[in-house]
Amino acid sequence: MKKQLFNLSMLFAALLVLTISSCKKESTTDDSIAAGDAANISSAMSSTSDDADNAMSTNRSLSGKTEGLIFETLCGATTVIDSGSGTATITYNGQDCSGKLSRTGTVTVQLQGYPNVHWRDAGATLVLNYNVSVTVIATGETYGLTGTHYIDNVNGGLAYQVMDGLSTTTVVRKHTCNNATITFPDGSQRLWSFNRTRTFSNTGSNPTITLSGDTTINGIANVAQWGTNRNNETFYAAIISPISSDYQCNFFHPTTGEYLHHVANRTVTVVYGVNLDGSAYTGNGCAYGYKMTYTKGSRTLTGTFPY
């Protein structure tokens, strides 16, 4: 389950390709750095929040699970659970399960309403307090994450059971946070907020994860994260249509969805699940890739890229 829960967050890394190409042609604006920050922070948030979900889900007292347990060891981390207070402390000391991120620091997790509420219950909420540094192994860039986040179990159930084929129930997680502090590799600090939903489903042999945004800001709908980038510009990252990825295509190759990164007079739009010519894929296998469009004022650049 750890691998599946993480990989959807890596979709945002696709933003780098076209922005880097665009900036070489139009050097007055380097959007590749801001896009890279969005990709890296999204990955870090998904990776760590999934660890919190795992820690709570596989403890009988906290999850409310009555049948046999499946224990999943977190990668590059140790967990101490206090079943008396309904808390878990995750201490990071190495690489995550993808091998793409290295983490240090702690995340403390509190199950609100415990012991009357269990994590598998509909409406249950986890409070995550971050004090974590995350390094992108490929580049050596390190980001600091501090602040309080909330994960809601919208309709009940445990995500790992769905992803491991132990349940066909659809499980929904809502992730919210207002004004968390992000420290960038250059030492600058900015405030970011998150409001996104991930849906885990499995009707048989093909587990699927769907990511969507839940907020409207300045007329932009379905915003998943927003704040100020390291260049001190306001940005909005919206999921125009839900992004879905499944086991059949190894969770790295989204089948559908559209993502929008908006800053000042510039946007990057990513349409997932397309053919070589950029048209929507409608077959039974896996799509060729994704189509990206970079717009700055009246200038537009479009490209189609393979997964």
**Spatial separation of the C-alpha atoms in residues 52 and 280, rounded to whole Å:** 36
Whether the pLDDT of residue 290 is over 50: the answer is: yes
Give the per-residue pLDDT at 72: 58
The two tokens of residue 53 are 């979900």
pLDDT tens string 62-88:
997 655 445 557 899 999 999 999 999
Give percent above pLDDT 70 in the chain.
87
pLDDT tens readout for residues 176-208: 999 999 999 999 999 999 999 999 999 778 899
Confidence of residue 17 (pLDDT cuts 50, 70, 90): very low
- Paired tokens of 14: 């696709």
Above 50 in pLDDT, residue 25? Answer: no
Cα–Cα distance, 194 to 197 (Å, whole number): 10
Output the six-digit token pair for 217.
């800001």
Helices (H), the chain: 2-7, 15-25, 31-57, 60-63, 159-163
pLDDT tens-place string over residues 27-55: 445 677 787 788 789 888 888 998 999 88
Q: What is the pLDDT of residue 29?
A: 53
Neighbours of 80 (CB within 10 A): 12
Percent of the chain with pLDDT over 90: 57
Amino acid 23: pLDDT: 45
pLDDT in the model for residue 59: 86
Residue 289: pLDDT band with limits 50, 70, 90: very high
Is the predicted pLDDT of residue 15 greater than 70, yes or no? no
Could you tell me the pLDDT band of residue 166, with boundaries at 50, 70 and 90? Answer: confident
Helix (H) / strand (E) containing 295: strand 289-296
CA-wise closest residue to 10 among 270, 284, 217: 270
Provide Rg for the chain, Cα atoms.
19
